[in-house]
Amino acid sequence: MAPASSTAVAKTQTKSASLLEASQVHKASEALLKHIQERKKSSSNKNLLEAGNEDSPASAVPIWLVFSTKKHVVDKNRLKPGKISIPHSLNRPDSSICLITADPQRAFKDVLEEEPFPAQLRSQIRVLGLEKLKQRYKSFEQKRELMADYDIFLADDRIITNLPYLLGKTAYQSSKRPMPIDLKPSNEKNEPKIIGKRIKKDVTNRKTPSASTLAKRIESALASARVHLSPSASTSIHVGFSHFRPDQLEDNITAVVEGMIEKFVPKGWNNVKSIFIKGSETAALPIWQTTELWTEDTEVLEDKDAEAAKSIKSSNTKRKQGTYTRSPSKRTKLLGDESGFSPEMAARRAALRKAKNEATNASSTDQLKIDRVKYTQTKAVTNGKAKSKSVRSRIVSAAA
């Protein structure tokens, strides 16, 4: 069982303070990897292509870190995913990369051809401008082929929110969702924001980062874990594979937890309910849990306030159940006590009561008259039938 935090909410925790216990993370990582390997060996439905090498990346099972928070992390879905640097990359060294850039794409292609850019990384990358993406990949089949051609998709963070429409659900329902990368030159990062009407920039001579800077940013993006945020109390982040060693998985988990607390979770550890790790088809193993279900002191009532709230709740329950009774004064007035009324009102009430009684007596008298008439009519009909029957019998006997 994961250790429960006993840190009071009132205590402010610094950004660097971590409540995660390394021993618990290592224990959970080791147990999960061992379980996945044993499950693979005992499975009788092995893929023939994977049977030769069970530890290959192609046959590896992804491992997820599940963050459970007390309140939603964000208010609405974010099309631009976040990034957290991890010590052990989730991508193969020979992965094919599609770099989607703002127009014109030629400026970024020229940077890749420069000498400081690593030759090995250059051979893995294809640059695709936004306009080329619109022109060449319109149909569903073309978009699916694009997804199948590359292992990793990186996109300029200035245009990444336009890609869901251009790439379609094929990309965003898979593990190949584009990773944002900063393709602005270093001197543009600190430019002040423009207030008022924006002036359209001349994209024909777009500035790009230097070859060495671009290479570092691409390598940094490849060594990061994606964070997809949505209005939910649960967030899952891919942190490793089943072929990782326990210490490698532990390093990635620690880095992702610290990154989530510092960058994405409002109020830090105060808003974290629990943290688990799991495989795609395994149970979740806890690595951290809290005993407090609130995020601030103001959400916790004192004893007196709690008793007052409880009494209000019980009185409301009694009213709903119908146990509420009128006050004696109201009951007396309803039963006919006219001592509290003025003489005019008392006389009026007496007259109304008398009229009501007379109407009731009259209606009962009329009902008696109606019943007497019905009885007389019924008796007459019965006597008539009996008389006609006797006459008929006499005629029959006379004829005989």
Count how many residues are written for the chain.
Answer: 400
* β 224-227/179-181 pair status: unpaired
Q: How far apart are CA 269 and CA 260, in angstroms?
A: 10
The answer to whether the CB of 7 falls within 8 A of the CB of 19 is yes
Q: How far apart are CA 39 and CA 60, in angstroms?
A: 12
Residue 310 one-letter amino acid: K
Does residue 102 come out as left (phi exceeding 0), alpha (psi in the -120 to 50 range) or beta? beta
Which of 33, 18, 52 lies closest to 244 in space, CA to CA?
Answer: 33
> What number of H helices and E strands is found in the chain?
12, 11
Q: How far apart are CA 93 and CA 71, in angstroms?
A: 38
| DSSP assignment string, 161-222 | GGHHHHH-HHHHTSS-PPEEE--S-GGGTTPPPP-SSPPPP-GGG-----HHHHHHHHHHHH
Q: Given this model, what pLDDT does residue 246 score? A: 94
> What are the average pLDDT values for consecutive 10-residue runs of the chain, which has 400 residues?
48 56 93 90 61 58 93 86 93 93 91 91 94 92 92 92 88 86 75 53 66 93 92 92 94 95 90 92 91 64 61 62 54 55 81 82 71 71 65 63
- Dump strand ranges (E) for 247-384: 272-279, 285-290
Q: Given this model, what pLDDT does residue 198 score? A: 54
Residue 266 CA to its chain's centroid (Å): 16
Q: How far apart are CA 367 and CA 364, in angstroms?
A: 5
Q: How far apart are CA 305 and CA 283, in angstroms?
A: 41
Q: How far apart are CA 279 and CA 54, in angstroms?
A: 16
CA torsion angle for 91, 97, 100, 105 (degrees, to 10)?
150
| DSSP assignment string, 34-48 | HHHHHHHHH-S---T
* Dihedral sign (CA 212, 214, 219, 220): positive
Supply the angle between the helices 105-112 and 211-222 in degrees, to the nearest 10: 90
Q: Given this model, what pLDDT does residue 192 score? A: 52
Which of 147, 149, 135 lies closest to 103 in space, CA to CA?
Answer: 135
Does residue 246 come out as left (phi exceeding 0), alpha (psi in the -120 to 50 range) or beta? alpha
Token digits for 262? 């510092």
> Environment class of residue 50 by beta-carbon count within 10 Å: exposed (0-12), middle (13-18) or buried (19+)?
middle
Residue 389 CA to its chain's centroid (Å): 87
Q: Given this model, what pLDDT does residue 348 score? A: 83
Tally of CB atoms within 10 A around 171? 19
Q: How far apart are CA 91 and CA 62, in angstroms?
A: 12
- DSSP 3-state assignment of 324? coil
User: Cα 295–297–303 angle (5° rounding)?
Assistant: 125
Which residues sit opposite 272 in a β-bridge?
69
